[in-house]
Amino acid sequence: MSLLFDVWLVMSLASRLLDDALAGSGLTGDDFGMYSLLRRFGPVTPSQLSRWTGMGATTVSAYLKRMDARSHTERTPNPADRRSYLIGLSSDGVAAHDAATVAFLAAMHTLAPAFQPDSLDERLALQHVDSALRDATGMDPRPYTVIDDATGGIGEHTENRRLSYRGEPLNTKQERLVRHYIDFVRAQPAGDCP
């Protein structure tokens, strides 16, 4: 077998876990991924979605048509290129993503004990594989970067923000609860946080 086959197996298992967890939400795991990209990094052009995901233009178009049929998208003219448009989530799309996020976080937390106390090493390893696959296929870099923020935590992008806490040390259960809440906060678009 090979690393590429290992990635395919992991992708298949992750899809199964997400599809099962999101079954009652009306979104599949792949839908949730597309909604998450648009919510966090949109509005963007369909071609940018294709370059981030590695999906063909027709596959991205099919996703967007399904989202349009649900009234979960908004199109606006692209100020950089009048021949194209930007796609983002509508308020109904945001509401659908919010509802599915609860199930997504529950699925994610079923995996959490296997990656305690942190998932940084795994995320960095996956990012390395992601980068190699993007280089091999000529795709754009992912829209975010996982970094070790020098405190043993996980940061995104290249900002060097740190969260500090001066209280009594947390026990394992409290630390796990704080990490789950941090995951929830990270799932929210920056503009939605007070």
Read off the amino acid at residue 163: L
pTM for the whole thing?
0.75
The mean predicted confidence, pLDDT, of the chain is 85
R_g over Cα of the chain: 18
Using the Cα atoms of residue 93, residue 96, residue 100 and residue 105 in order, give the sign of their dihedral.
positive
Write the CA distances from 11 to 7, 19, 29, 171, 175, integer angstroms.
Answer: 6, 12, 11, 33, 29
Q: What digits encode the pLDDT tens for the residues 110-146?
A: 888 887 766 788 888 899 999 999 999 999 999 988 8
In the predicted structure, residue 178 carries a pLDDT above the cut 80: no
Q: Mean of the pLDDT values across residues 50-66?
A: 95
According to the model, what pLDDT value does residue 111 have? 83
Domains of the chain: 3-192 (1.10.10.10)
Average pLDDT over residues 58-65: 96
Residue 161: predicted pLDDT: 42
Mean pLDDT of 60-77: 96
d(CA 43, CA 10): 29
| Helix, strand, coil content of the chain in percent (nearest 5) | 60, 10, 30
pLDDT tier at 192, thresholds 50, 70, 90:
low
Contact 121, 56 (CB under 8 A): no
Phi, psi of 77 (to 5 degrees): -60, 145
> What is the spatial distance between Cα 95 and Cα 76, in angstroms, rounded to a whole number?
20
pLDDT in tens, 17-48: 999 999 999 999 999 999 999 999 999 999 99
